[in-house]
């Protein structure tokens, strides 16, 4: 990347402070762009779901992996929960979407509690293991909540075999105006296909492990028996290790990383597979150098840019994200490492600019919180708008969860020093209620950015991107208007 007119800004820059200038390009179509990440993870798009309790869970992980990204499970969940989540992701189909299922004898209230978990908009009704109907949200409106599913479901169910050509399934969905088609394998439900799901399967390549299963990552903290916790994550089957703390450039992180890499290397000796270790967060070259020396393969960059984070307002500590990514990426590349830009993205342009600055992937948290697949429950406000609750990982709510095994006194004392927002409503966009809808929007914008730069890969984009510095008025000029003047 180079700055327009070789300007060397005398102050740090946010994504809003920057823009990209088009260059001569031979890229005729955005479909020619290869977004495979250069960080050795194995993802085919540069998106990572942040390890936030309100965001990253099983549904989020499998959905994003199916489209080529990866989610990182939080460190504050039990070993049993991690085993269960990883196992379910690994068992999920790489093309078919995991269905919501209810039994004919279930109540309408059961269906209502599940329909908000995915953007399908409907559940498959089973009689034992046999699909016998479909029930949608509309079917559950203005009926007794204790009514049985068999009383409200649609019995006009169309199914398809797992061996059937997805294009043929698409034609069936379109001709019959269906929301989805259950896919059967010897009479048993294997998944569902939607119209958009079929189209997406032709555009995205899933992120899969060497066994062809969907990928998922796991986070570990720097306190306690770090080596044992890392070994536990590895046994669960995660595909990348994220050593996570708000202030990554500290002695405890430098002491913890060798324990993580030792467990990783022992696992590699037994399995022949060496996983990447991600560590952070840092915002300056010194932090990158020290953590790479301690064993990190990828550095997580960002202090304070997240929507749920109050660190900068509470402490004055942090750094504008574009400049942080730019400096850290340069230092990392000199050491043979990569960086993930963690936080601060609100639009597809921000993701493209992070990649131009040198990031291999971009971590997203709150932006994905307001989707059907995020970990929170769907809530409807008094005005009928649907939302999910989100909270920061240093907030009082997160601290309470993290310290639940401590004494009441120690928990109360820890609660005095929280940072971050504990309760925030992330409203679902009616036009993009699912995380895949947001991924479509982001990847479409990023691919277009690559065509403007004349780049077919992330490596070429880093070399060819020309970035300028703009005023707040320049940024405002580029924003579309939803209403007239």
Q: Is 244 annotated as a binding residue?
A: yes
- What whole-number distance in Å separates Cα of residue 191 and Cα of residue 94? 10
64 is in an annotated binding site: no
Whether residue 105 is annotated as binding a ligand: the answer is: no
Q: Which residues of the chain have pLDDT under 50?
A: none
Q: Average model confidence (pLDDT) for the chain?
A: 92
End-to-end CA gap in the chain: 37
Q: pLDDT value at position 146?
A: 92
Please indicate if the annotation marks 246 as binding a ligand. yes
Domains, the chain, with CATH or none = 1-90+205-476 (3.20.20.70), 99-201 (3.10.580.10)
Strands 361-364 and 338-342, sheet pairing: parallel
* pLDDT for the residue 379: 87
Enzyme catalytic residues: 309
Q: Is 408 exposed, middle or buried (0-12, 13-18, 19+ CB in 10 A)?
A: exposed
Residue 484's pLDDT is 77
Put simply, whether the predicted model's pTM sits higher than 0.85 gets the answer: yes
Which pLDDT belongs to residue 309? Answer: 86
Q: Is 302 annotated as a binding residue?
A: yes
pLDDT of residue 404: 66
Q: Which residues of 166-176 are buried (b: 16+ CB within 10 A; e: fewer)?
A: beebbebbeee
Give the pLDDT score at 306.
Answer: 86
Q: Is 245 assigned a ligand-binding role in the annotation?
A: yes
């Amino acid at each position: 990347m180079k700055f327009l007119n070789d300007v060397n800004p005398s102050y740090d820059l946010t994504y809003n402070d920057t823009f990209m200038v088009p260059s001569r390009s031979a890229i005729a179509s955005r479909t020619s762009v290869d977004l495979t990440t250069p960080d050795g993870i194995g993802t085919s798009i540069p998106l990572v779901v942040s390890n936030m309790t309100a965001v990253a869970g099983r549904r989020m992980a499998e959905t994003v992996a199916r489209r080529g990204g990866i989610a990182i499970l939080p460190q504050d969940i039990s070993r049993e929960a991690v085993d269960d989540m990883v196992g379910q992701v690994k068992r999920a189909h790489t093309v078919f979407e995991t269905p919501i299922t209810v039994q004919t004898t279930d109540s309408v209230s059961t269906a209502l509690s599940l329909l908000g978990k995915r953007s399908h908009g409907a559940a498959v009704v089973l009689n034992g293991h046999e699909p016998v109907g479909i029930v949608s949200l509309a079917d559950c409106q203005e009926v007794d909540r204790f009514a049985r599913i068999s009383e409200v479901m649609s019995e006009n169910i169309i199914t398809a075999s797992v061996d059937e050509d997805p294009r043929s399934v698409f034609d069936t969905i379109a001709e019959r105006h269906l929301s989805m088609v259950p896919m059967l394998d010897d009479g048993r439900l294997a998944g569902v296909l939607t119209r958009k799901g079929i189209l997406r399967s032709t555009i995205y390549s899933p992120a899969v492990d060497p066994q062809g299963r969907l990928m998922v990552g796991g986070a570990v903290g720097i306190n306690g028996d770090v080596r044992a916790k890392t070994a536990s994550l590895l046994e669960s089957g995660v595909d990348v290790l994220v050593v996570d703390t708000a202030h990554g450039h500290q002695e405890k992180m430098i002491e913890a990383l060798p324990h993580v890499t030792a467990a990783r290397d022992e696992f590699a000796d037994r399995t022949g597979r060496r996983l990447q270790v991600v560590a952070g967060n840092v915002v300056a070259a010194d932090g990158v150098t020290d953590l790479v020396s301690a064993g990190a393969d990828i550095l997580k960059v960002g202090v304070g840019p997240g929507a749920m984070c109050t660190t900068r307002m509470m402490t004055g500590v942090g750094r504008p994200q574009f400049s942080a990514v730019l400096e850290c990426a340069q230092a990392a590349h000199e050491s043979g490492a990569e960086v993930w830009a963690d936080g601060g993205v609100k639009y597809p342009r921000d993701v493209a600019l992070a990649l131009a600055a040198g990031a291999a992937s971009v971590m997203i948290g709150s932006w994905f919180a307001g989707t059907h697949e995020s970990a929170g429950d769907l809530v409807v406000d008094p005005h009928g708008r649907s939302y999910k609750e989100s909270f920061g990982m240093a907030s009082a709510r997160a601290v309470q969860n993290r310290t639940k095994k401590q004494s009441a006194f120690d928990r109360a004392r820890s609660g005095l020093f929280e940072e971050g927002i504990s309760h925030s409503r992330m409203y679902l966009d009616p036009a993009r209620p699912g995380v895949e809808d947001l991924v479509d929007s982001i990847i479409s914008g990023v691919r277009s950015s690559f065509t403007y730069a004349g780049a077919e890969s992330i490596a070429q984009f880093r070399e060819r991107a020309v970035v300028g510095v703009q005023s707040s008025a320049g940024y405002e000029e580029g924003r579309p208007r939803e209403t007239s003047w």
